[in-house]
Copies of this chain bind each other. A is one copy, B any other.
Amino acid sequence: MSKEFKYIGKSVPRVDAVGKVTGQTRFITDEYLDRMIYAYPFYSDIPFGKITAIDISPAASQPGFLGVLSASDIPGQNQVGVIIEDQPLFADPLVRFIGDSIGIVVAETESAARQAARLVNIQYEEFNPIFSINDSKAATGNFIHDSNVACQHQVDKGDINTGFAAADQIIEADFKTQFQEHYYLEPQGCIAIPEENGGITIHGSIQCIYYVQKAVARVLGIPQSVVKVIQTPIGGAFGGKEDIPSELCARAALAAVKFNRPVKMVYNRRDDVQLTSKRHPFQIHFKVGVSNAGKLLAAHIRLEENSGAYATLSTVVSYRSSIHAMGPYVIPNIKVRSTAYYTNLPTTGAFRGFGSPQATFGHERMMDIIADHLGIDPVELRLKNVLRPGDLTQTAQKLEVSVGAEETITSVRDRSSWNSLRQNNQNDRRYLTGIGIAASHYGNCLGAAGWALDGAGVKIQIRRDGSVGLAYGLADMGQGALTVITQMAADALGINSQRISVLAPNTDLVPDSGPGVASRNVVMTGNAIRDAAAKLEPILKTAAAEMLGTDAESIKIENDLIFVDDVKKSDFNILADYLFVGNSQMDMLGWWHVPALEYDPVKGIGEAYFTYSYATHVAKVRVDRLTGLVFVDKIWAAHDIGKAINPAGLEGQVEGGTTQGIGWALTEQFKFDRGRVLTDNLSTYLLPTIADVGEVETILVENPEPLGPWGAKGIGEPAIIPTAAAIANAVSHAIGVQMNEIPLTPEKVLDAIEGRTH
């Protein structure tokens, strides 16, 4: 890794910055097509029941009304469940949450479609709804699906009874985390265009173009090869555009086929919040046996998730939270059960971290409670147990390289002056101050449970004029992927980054590269770039050698120049033309697939992920004694990302993730009234503002992962994972009460300070 690169490792400005700052970037709402019509869903306004009648006559009398489509209009399968096949595209006859779409209205204008959708009159036979995990568990009949359990994953390593018997202390605690709404700036939207061959072209704000391709083909009953999905610029997603676009696009596509016209569907904010998925609320029980010296000996962990009405990505959340349940620590004996329960609420699905922030809230609060019990400093307790090279994870996976957990802990400890701040509270009459730490790990990419989908490609096209097109299959949803891809490709090929144009993801361009999720982009696309560049290298060098009358071994391509034995002889423009006239291959598919993982899904033992990112956050907080308001003065965020491809971009990710973590910890309180969302706009759902976010200091720990591109690992999700736990630990430290449930609203904090319990 000692080689100096021209782009990799540099804080190259974002390639998409100008378009986004000037407003030139065209999002899906900016697009209008000739003869385009509009669709809008109408949906259940009861949480659970059975449709008995649908009266469309009030809608049909609206000017511009074209028609209504519902379950009976589907030519293929009425099914959009992404992993478990439990979710109809249109409810029929059961409705399972307020927001369960029953059909769409199609109209000549967007306002007519929305207006008419509100006028469709549905009659129901109502059932008793279930909203909580506990009610869902307790139900003995009237199940939401065949049973109320959406899915379960488990880990069983060693023997917890032996572990507990050997322990000096056994400590138990319960934790709770809340819903979180993605609140991407751009709501869900797409346009579906019918094609002459019976196919469909979809444009939309879509994380996972291949998921949409599959869903649309299935619903319409047409081959995947005639479904083309093109990603428009994404105005934020955070996982919220993983599965939901499949519903949206399949509905729009259905209308496009029926009316043989392009169909646009964009949710308004209120419906976007009511209809789309959220972060799973968890309730968590920990029972941990430790030695007096602070060694973790055994843990029995129960994670329970509110899945909402359909499973969507619950299996991923349940799997991931089970694997990460005890955090980045060595523990010989562990039993984990992570179970998602159906309720009559909107679905919970993919959200930055996929259950890891929740699991981390559990294990990191637990570590502080243990530290408190044992009278050991929280940093010390973590360092006694933290995973180091050669250690086994909780799934008995041996970690060999790129294990930067310890360094993330010690670096935030040192940078934050932990020891002095922890021991010397700077309380005054108004504020109680505290400092808290939380460490986490994050399995990169899809892991053993998603292995089959865990390949991704790029296509590099060298043009005769020396310009280069690069197609990839994942998503830039704001995280800066385009910039990092450009950096990696430029250095991989030895050319100027200005030569490279990254094409919008399009199912026609690159083979199915799986979903644009799980912090996969840098690792997967980067490795595919390495693969393509490695395949191109001999072609380029052979041609250059032929052109310059030498042998390929003496050729070096760097900085846009062609060197023979380190003497500049030509440039890439000339080489590109030479490649063309000499019939050299100029179009190269690069591909990378996560290596085979040995994993036993029954016991939850083995190689759960091929590598892990590590992060530790320290939060310094002030708690207002009078109001219970918590101010996060500073977060020190250390991240082992293997190798920083773009340090400024990484800082941006960490600051963004931390901010979202602050929101989840403190301000974002998602509320329902019997299944109806009450917090469906920014006046009621409080995203953190700049006033809520103090300083964030990012510390990049580079512990190269040999299987990562140039050593890099993922950052997208790790950025949010430890924040809330660090804040809760800091608040607990400040007020001297273990705060085991987020969000830490002023009321809750004030009650804790004043000794009231709920």
Contact = CB atoms under 8 A, between A and B. Distances in A.
Contacts of A214: 464-465
Interface string A464-505: 111111010000000000000000000000000001110100
B464 A224 contact: yes
A196 B26 contact: yes
A585 interface: yes
Contacts of A24: 196
A465 B224 contact: yes
B463 A224 contact: yes
A467 B224 contact: yes
Contact of A461 (B499, B511, B583, B587): B511
Interface string A157-201: 000000000000000000000000000000000000000110100
A499 B465 contact: no
Contact of A223 (B35, B467, B506, B581): B467
A509 interface: yes
Interface string A579-618: 0111101110101010000000000000000000000000
Given A32-B34, A196-B26, A508 B471 contact: yes
A589 B536 CA distance: 14
A293 interface: no
Nearest to A503: B508
**What size tier do the contact residues of chain A reach?**
35 or more
A223 B465 contact: yes
Interface in A200-234: 213-214, 217, 223-226
Contacts of A461: 225, 508, 511
A380 interface: no
A754 interface: no
Nearest to A581: B452
A291 interface: no
A501 B226 contact: yes
B587 A593 contact: no
Contacts of A583: 452, 455, 593
Given A19-B196, A34-B33, A223 B586 contact: no
Contact of A587 (B197, B469, B511): B511
Contact of A499 (B225, B506, B582): B225
A35 B585 CA distance: 39
A100 interface: no
A624 interface: no
A523 to B, nearest CB: 16
Contact of A512 (B455, B499, B586, B591): B586
A457 interface: yes
Contacts of A677: none
A11 interface: no
A698 to B, nearest CB: 29
Contacts of A511: 461, 585-587
B509 A225 contact: no
Q: 8 tightest A-B contacts by CB?
A: A223-B467, A32-B34, A225-B467, A511-B587, A224-B463, A225-B469, A452-B581, A583-B593
Given A213-B463, A224-B467, A589-B589, 10 more contacts: A32-B35, A34-B34, A217-B465, A217-B467, A223-B463, A225-B468, A226-B467, A461-B511, A464-B512, A509-B509
